[in-house]
């Protein structure tokens, strides 16, 4: 087991799956000679050649559409979008084709397609390049949504996604690519979809998070512990399927839940999770479910304003103290 970065873990997963299954190939803007916008595919072209690491024109609609067709034809495409913000240009192919073909063809056609894309704010990239859009895809039946926080989960979930028969939206936060952690070098290391991880056990409060907010939740938990509050921290890992059982078990134990996520507060993934908690554990709650999320505004370019819009560990601490 080696300590490597989130970026390197993704690269390792791609190498292992390219070696394992000749049907797997990668396509996207600058994934070959440039190595990807965030260098996730760096070095793969030299090993696997242009047939399996394909640079594409700048057209997200065409890239995803070609991926859907290749998947229907029996291949296992891994499509990289330079950023999920550009995925909006391919929503017809994602929502009306990738997500629905298996259903509309009576199960006779499959779309084993993985769409990888970075997302998130914090880098002064402006309103059109700093969004977290997981709720859009969570809302669409037929899509799986994986959103890893740790290097180990980045590897394990990506390998699971590539081996799946369903279309998977694989969302990576831009701030996590340099994060390092222990990653198994086992070529069959898989992290199952729909299985959350309890990263910290506690008795007073449950903090549910995913992606970058997992680190905010853990930092908040340390600060709260100093004040005598014992929080439990859950990393969801995937939003579809959602491990509601782990969340409800914790909610019933602690009686208080805060959901931390970087999407907009209104209509975000946290709102859906909160609703399901109310439906399944209302009688066990001692307080309304709290949500810590981005403010409902386009992302400012100014660094101080951007920081004010994004959720932080301090916001989680404040919400927890008010709830307690």
Contact criterion met (CB below 8 Å) for 172 and 119 = yes
Percent of the chain with pLDDT over 90: 99
- The pLDDT of residue 91 is 97
Dihedral angle sign, alpha carbons of residues 68, 165, 140, 56? negative
What is the mean predicted confidence (pLDDT) over 148-169?
98
**CA 219 to CA 270: how far, in whole Å?**
19
**Average pLDDT for 12-17:** 98
Both 175 and 205 in one domain: the answer is no
139 and 205 in a single domain? The answer is no
Final residue belonging to a domain, choices 159, 183, 207: 183
In a domain, 109, yes or no: yes
Are 257 and 132 in the same domain? no
69 and 127 fall within a common domain: yes
* Residues 137, 281 share a domain: no
Query: Is residue 170 domain-shared with residue 257, that is, in the same domain?
Result: no
Looking at residue 212, its pLDDT comes to 98
Same domain, 15 and 137: yes
Range of the domain at 129: 2-183
Structurally, the chain folds into a number of domains equal to 2
Q: Which of 140, 157, 183 is the last residue of a domain?
A: 183
Residue 189 lies in a domain: no
Query: What is the average pLDDT value for the chain, to the nearest integer?
Result: 97
Given a contact cutoff of 8 angstroms between Cβ atoms, the answer to whether 206 and 251 are in contact is yes
**Are 18 and 136 found together in one domain?**
yes
* CATH number (domain holding residue 83): 3.40.50.970
Is 261 among the domain residues?
Answer: yes
Tell me if 104 is assigned to some domain.
Answer: yes
Query: Considering the domain boundaries, does residue 73 fall inside one?
Result: yes
Residue 1 pLDDT: 84
Q: Tell me the catalytic residues.
A: 60, 129
Same domain for 167 and 266? no
Query: 157, 183, 209: which is the final residue of a domain?
Result: 183
Starting at the edge strand found earlier in the chain, the sheet holding 144-146 runs 53-55, 24-28, 76-80, 114-119, 168-173, 144-146, 238-240
What CA–CA distance (Å, rounded) separates 278 from 323? 16
Average pLDDT of the residues in 191-207: 98
Question: Does the residue 190 lie in any domain?
Answer: no
Task: For 253-309, write each residue's pLDDT tens digit.
Answer: 999 999 999 999 999 999 999 999 999 999 999 999 999 999 999 999 999 999 999
**CATH code for the domain in which residue 293 is found:** 3.40.50.920
> 107 and 159 share a domain?
yes
- Position 188 in a domain: no
Say which DSSP state 186 is in. Answer: -
Question: Which helix or strand (DSSP H or E) is residue 3 part of?
Answer: strand 2-5
- Does residue 270 share a domain with residue 202? yes
In a domain, 217, yes or no: yes
Predicted structure pTM score: 0.96
135 and 275: one domain? no
């Amino acid at each position: 087991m080696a300590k490597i970065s989130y970026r390197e873990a993704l690269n390792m997963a791609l190498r292992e799956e390219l070696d394992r299954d000749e049907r797997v190939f990668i396509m996207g803007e600058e994934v070959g000679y440039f190595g990807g916008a965030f260098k996730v595919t760096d070095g793969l072209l030299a090993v696997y050649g242009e047939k399996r690491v394909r640079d594409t024109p700048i057209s997200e609609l065409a890239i995803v559409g070609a991926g859907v067709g290749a998947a229907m034809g029996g291949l296992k495409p891994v499509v990289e979008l330079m950023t999920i913000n550009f995925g909006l240009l391919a929503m017809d192919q994602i929502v009306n084709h990738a997500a629905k073909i298996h259903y509309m063809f009576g199960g006779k056609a499959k779309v084993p397609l993985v769409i990888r894309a970075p997302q998130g704010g914090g880098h002064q990239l402006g309103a059109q390049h700093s969004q977290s859009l997981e709720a859009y895809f969570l809302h669409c039946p037929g899509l799986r949504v994986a959103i890893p926080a740790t290097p180990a989960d980045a590897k394990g979930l990506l390998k699971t996604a590539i081996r799946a028969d369903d279309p998977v939206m694989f969302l990576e936060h831009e701030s996590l690519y340099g994060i390092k952690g222990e990653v198994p070098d086992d070529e069959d290391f898989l992290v199952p979809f729909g299985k959350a991880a309890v990263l910290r056990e506690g008795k007073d409060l449950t903090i549910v998070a995913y992606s970058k907010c997992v680190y905010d939740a853990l930092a908040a938990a340390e600060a709260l512990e100093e004040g005598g509050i014992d929080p439990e921290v859950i990393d969801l890992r995937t939003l579809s399927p959602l491990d509601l059982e782990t969340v409800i078990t914790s909610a019933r134990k602690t009686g208080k839940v805060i959901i931390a996520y970087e999407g907009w507060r209104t209509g975000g993934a946290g709102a859906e999770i909160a609703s399901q908690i109310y439906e399944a554990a209302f009688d066990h709650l001692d307080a309304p479910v709290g949500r810590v999320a981005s403010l409902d505004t386009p992302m400012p370019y100014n660094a101080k304003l951007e920081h004010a819009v994004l959720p932080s560990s301090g916001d989680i601490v404040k919400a927890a103290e008010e709830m307690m």
